[in-house]
């Protein structure tokens, strides 16, 4: 049943996944070309100094890309389910509501991770040509809150979209916006270093929120 | 699961409201609140102040006498010498010290150490300038130094480690008795300065070394070996937390050190004389340290949210005078007291004490606790009246008990149990 549901989600979303994958990879590719350009028209010393002392990071332009991808995938995956009430069919499977909803979320998170990681790897490989290994650690530590923000955005989108009543959808929307802002407080590299573990744990805990909405959906609130 | 999810939703809501509601409150309630700028008059031999009020800024002395701008500038001639020179009012000498414009310019000192400079993210790569290239101006090197468990130089253009230079420095460090890894390092990697002081580095044992590059060669010395016999024990005992290097025209101060006991030190002259800055309540995690020097005195001011302290030292770093004043902290203003009564706790994720993000809580007053209790009693009565007092209401009850006003908002907005 687990594999079947994963496969169902894959069939449903594969075209969108491919599009998001290509968009993300193309954007990361653009950043790599931009980095090459920056090193061609500036002295390496100046670029390194800007990175180390002024906190200039060439990939900062993609700060909100994981967030956007998370929201888009969450909407694409769950809007159709709620609009036509198709979710009710899934919730009646012998698997149980929570488990069925969890499998949907795992499918979405896996797809999102496979969209993010190749792009990040491309940036890491490309930057290793121009920067020392210290930069890779720096890149990962700075990029991680944005990736977590993307995963959180996906889960919070599912949480909001799956909620059956409009009043709570509006509340959840405000709640999500307030929460997601906390993933983007960084104005210098490595700022999140001391709370990275807490941020990761908090992001993982968000997994239960869509399950609450699914439960309420199954109970027939708002209909 | 649904109970866990609801509890978590209330907990997250508490965190968010404890962050955003006080932030919104302070957006409306904040008034101009700046600490006074402290001066020391070498003519009147007393402290002078530039104080800010909501409407204007006033210049006054320690007795409360208010001065007009021209009068204020006249009794602080070394702070306003350019204006006085322009107006033809600069005295020729003060206390036997001739006020020549070139000397006035050269002898000015200015340092500022903020708490976030001591605790901030950094990358262990920095350029080591050549302090003696034979050129008129300082030049950026082509490589960056990485000083950790070894010393390495990386050529920036090729991104390749320079093995030969790294080995040369590694052996120089060993010859100087440096014990890897380096624990604290401070320098000023800029070319827009009169000369290059290099870096001050503390090794694994806490001993301080002075590193420079001279005509491409390493010049590293254990500072205690350069100090006078009376300073040597002080250097051996010193455990640095932060080195502040900021080259000044008169080349008098090598660095300012903040040690692990919160004591700030000047390092002065050829013998690396270690001079304690005689502040009584300097807390580097919460206070800014500003040093201003002139031909006659050095004025050191430490300013925090609720306290300002200043000391004046003469040119031999002897104590001339001291001043301290409690300030009204934000929490003690009427708006702050109201905030502490409304909000049982506040969460901030940024703080002046650090360049890192973290969780920085502030707690409300006993009034806020009383408000929490009253709101909790009202909620329990309301639930009991509606015959809804059950375990499934625990998230609301806990949220109001802990968060007071925040909990009430959450109880209204968040989903009810079945």
Q: What is the mean pLDDT of residues A71-93?
A: 85
List, for residues B56-88, the tens digit of each pLDDT value. Answer: 889 999 999 999 999 999 999 999 999 999 999
More confident residue, B143 or B390: B143
What is the residue whose two structure tokens read 């020391």?
B40
Alpha-carbon gap: B415 to the closest alpha carbon of chain A (Å): 7
pLDDT at B1: 79
A219 touches chain B (CB under 8 A): yes
| Spatial contact of A191 and A144, defined as CB atoms under 8 Å apart | no
Name the residue among B194, B197, B87, B69 with its Cα closest to residue B131.
Answer: B197
Q: Which residues, 6 or more positions from A183, have their beta carbon under 8 angstroms from its beta carbon?
A: A67, A145, A146, A148, A149, A152, A199
Q: Which of A38, A42, A44, A218 to mutate to test the interface with B (most CBs of B within 10 A)?
A: A44
Mean pLDDT estimate for chain A: 91
Tell me whether residue B137 is exposed, middle or buried, using C-beta atoms within 10 angstroms of its C-beta: 0 to 12, 13 to 18, 19 or more: exposed
Q: Is the pLDDT confidence value at A57 over 90?
A: no
pLDDT at B133: 82
| CA distance linking residue B199 with residue A122, whole number of Å | 36
Cβ pairs A/B, distance under 8 A = 103
Q: Which of A47, A51, A53 to mutate to test the interface with B (most CBs of B within 10 A)?
A: A53
What is the residue whose two structure tokens read 């059956």?
A164
Flag if B1 and A185 touch (Cβ within 8 Å).
no
Q: What is the mean pLDDT of residues A146-166?
A: 96
| CA distance linking residue B128 with residue B188, whole number of Å | 9
Q: What is the mean pLDDT of residues B208-224?
A: 95
Q: What is the mean pLDDT of residues B90-102?
A: 90
Q: What is the mean pLDDT of residues A178-196?
A: 93
pLDDT at B5: 94
pLDDT > 70: what percent of chain B? 100
pLDDT at A65: 94
| Residue B315, phi then psi, degrees to nearest 5 | -70, -15
Flag if A212 and B350 touch (Cβ within 8 Å).
no
Kindly state the helix (H) or strand (E) to which residue A26 belongs, with its residue range.
Answer: helix A2-41
| Spatial contact of B301 and B310, defined as CB atoms under 8 Å apart | yes
Length of chain A: 223
Q: What is the mean pLDDT of residues A92-119?
A: 90
CA distances from B379 to B9, B13, B374, B411 (A): 19, 18, 9, 9
pLDDT at A2: 78
pLDDT at B10: 97
Show the tokens assigned to A201: 């744990």
pLDDT at A61: 86
Q: What is the mean pLDDT of residues B190-216?
A: 95
Q: Is the pLDDT confidence value at B115 over 90?
A: yes
List, for residues B172-198, the tens digit of each pLDDT value. Answer: 999 999 999 999 999 999 999 999 999
Which residues in chain A touch residue B141, judged by CB atoms under 8 angstroms apart?
45
Q: Is the pLDDT confidence value at A90 over 80?
A: no
B141 touches chain A (CB under 8 A): yes
Q: Is the pLDDT confidence value at B284 over 90?
A: yes
As a dihedral over the C-alpha atoms of residue A111, residue A113, residue A114, residue A116, rounded to 10 degrees, the angle is 120
| Spatial contact of B154 and B133, defined as CB atoms under 8 Å apart | no
List, for residues B296-348, the tens digit of each pLDDT value. Answer: 999 999 999 999 999 999 999 999 999 999 999 999 999 999 999 999 999 99
SS3 B214: strand
* Percentage helix, strand, coil for chain B under 3-state DSSP, each rounded to 5: 30, 30, 40
Query: pLDDT tier at B286 (50, 70, 90 boundaries)?
Result: very high
What is the residue whose two structure tokens read 């491919």?
A18
Q: Is the pLDDT confidence value at B367 over 80?
A: yes
A140 touches chain B (CB under 8 A): no
| CA distance linking residue B137 with residue B192, whole number of Å | 9
Query: Which among B5, B127, B350 has CB closest to A211?
Result: B5
SS3 B238: coil
Query: pLDDT tier at B134 (50, 70, 90 boundaries)?
Result: confident
Q: Please give the span between the terminal C-alpha atoms of chain A, in angstroms, as a whole number.
A: 28
Query: pLDDT tier at A223 (50, 70, 90 boundaries)?
Result: low
Mean pLDDT estimate for chain B: 94
| Spatial contact of A180 and A149, defined as CB atoms under 8 Å apart | yes
Render B328-394 in DSSP notation, one character per residue: --GGGSHHHHHHHHH-SEEEES-BTTBSS---EEEE--HHHHHHHHHHHHHHHHHHHHTT--SGGGH
SS3 B201: strand
Flag if A195 and B414 touch (Cβ within 8 Å).
no
Residue of B nearest to A134 (CA): B123
Sheet strands (E) in B250-330: 253-259, 264-268, 273-276, 288-293, 297-303, 307-314, 319-326
A211 touches chain B (CB under 8 A): yes
| CA distance linking residue B60 with residue A205, whole number of Å | 57
Show the tokens assigned to B127: 């350029």
DSSP-derived secondary structure letter, B417: P
Query: Which among B157, B349, B414 has CB closest to A185?
Result: B349
Q: What is the mean pLDDT of residues A123-136?
A: 91
Q: Is the pLDDT confidence value at A5 over 90?
A: no
pLDDT at B309: 97
B409 touches chain A (CB under 8 A): no
């Amino acid at each position: 049943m687990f594999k079947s549901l994963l496969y169902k989600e894959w069939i449903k979303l594969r075209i969108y996944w491919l599009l998001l994958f290509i968009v993300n990879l193309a954007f990361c590719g653009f950043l790599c070309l931009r980095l090459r350009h920056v090193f061609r028209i500036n002295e390496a010393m100046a670029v390194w100094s800007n990175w180390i002392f002024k906190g200039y990071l060439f990939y900062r332009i993609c700060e909100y890309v994981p967030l956007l991808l998370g929201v888009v995938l969450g909407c694409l995956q769950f809007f159709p389910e709620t609009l036509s009430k198709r979710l009710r069919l899934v919730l009646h499977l012998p698997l149980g509501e929570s488990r069925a909803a969890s499998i949907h979320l795992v499918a979405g998170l896996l797809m999102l991770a496979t969209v993010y990681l190749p792009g990040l790897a491309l940036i890491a490989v490309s930057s290793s040509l121009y920067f020392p290994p210290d930069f890779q650690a720096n890149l990962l530590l700075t990029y991680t809150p944005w990736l977590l923000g993307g995963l959180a955005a996906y889960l919070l989108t599912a949480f909001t979209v799956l909620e059956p009543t409009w009043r709570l959808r509006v509340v959840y929307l405000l709640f999500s916006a307030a929460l997601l802002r906390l993933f983007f407080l960084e104005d210098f590299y490595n700022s999140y270093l001391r709370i990275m573990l807490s941020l990761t744990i908090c992001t993982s805990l968000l997994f239960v929120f869509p399950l609450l909405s699914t439960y309420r959906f199954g109970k027939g609130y708002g209909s | 699961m649904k109970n866990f999810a609801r509890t978590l939703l209330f907990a997250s809501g508490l965190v968010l409201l404890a962050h955003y509601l006080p932030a919104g409150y302070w957006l409306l309630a904040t008034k101009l609140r700046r600490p006074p700028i402290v001066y020391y008059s070498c003519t009147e031999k007393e402290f002078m102040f530039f104080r800010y009020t909501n409407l204007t800024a006033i210049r006054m002395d320690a007795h409360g006498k208010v001065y007009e701008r021209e009068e204020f500038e006249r009794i602080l001639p070394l702070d306003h010498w350019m204006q006085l020179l322009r107006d033809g009012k600069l005295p020729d000498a003060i206390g036997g010290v001739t006020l020549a414009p070139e000397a006035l310019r050269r002898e000015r000192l200015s340092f500022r150490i903020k708490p976030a400079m001591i605790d901030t993210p950094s990358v262990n790569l920095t350029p080591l300038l050549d302090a003696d290239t034979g050129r008129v101006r300082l030049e950026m090197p082509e490589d960056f130094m990485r000083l950790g468990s070894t010393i390495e130089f990386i050529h920036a253009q090729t991104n390749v480690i320079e093995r030969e230079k790294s080995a040369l420095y590694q052996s120089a460090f060993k010859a100087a008795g440096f014990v890897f890894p380096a624990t604290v390092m401070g320098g000023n990697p800029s070319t827009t300065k009169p000369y290059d002081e290099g870096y001050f580095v503390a090794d694994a044992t806490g001993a301080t070394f002075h590193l420079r590059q001279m005509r491409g060669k390493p010049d590293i010395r254990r500072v205690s070996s350069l100090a006078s016999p009376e300073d040597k024990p002080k250097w051996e005992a010193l455990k640095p937390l932060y080195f502040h290097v900021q080259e000044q025209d008169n080349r008098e101060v090598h660095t300012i050190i903040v040690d692990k006991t919160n004591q700030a030190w000047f390092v002065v002259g050829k013998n690396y004389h270690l001079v304690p800055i005689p502040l009584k309540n300097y807390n580097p995690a919460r206070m800014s340290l500003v040093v201003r020097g002139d031909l006659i005195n050095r004025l050191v001011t430490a300013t925090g949210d609720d306290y300002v302290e200043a000391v004046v030292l003469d040119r031999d770093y002897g104590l001339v005078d001291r001043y301290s004043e409690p300030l009204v902290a934000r929490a003690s203003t009427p708006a702050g007291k109201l905030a502490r009564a409304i909000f049982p706790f506040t969460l901030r994720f940024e703080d002046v004490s650090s360049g890192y993000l973290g969780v920085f809580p502030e707690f409300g007053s006993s009034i806020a606790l009383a408000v929490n209790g009253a709101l909790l009693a009202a909620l329990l009565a309301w639930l009991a009246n509606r015959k809804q007092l059950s375990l499934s209401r625990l998230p609301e009850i806990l949220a109001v008990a802990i968060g007071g006003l925040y909990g009430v908002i959450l109880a209204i907005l968040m989903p009810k149990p079945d």
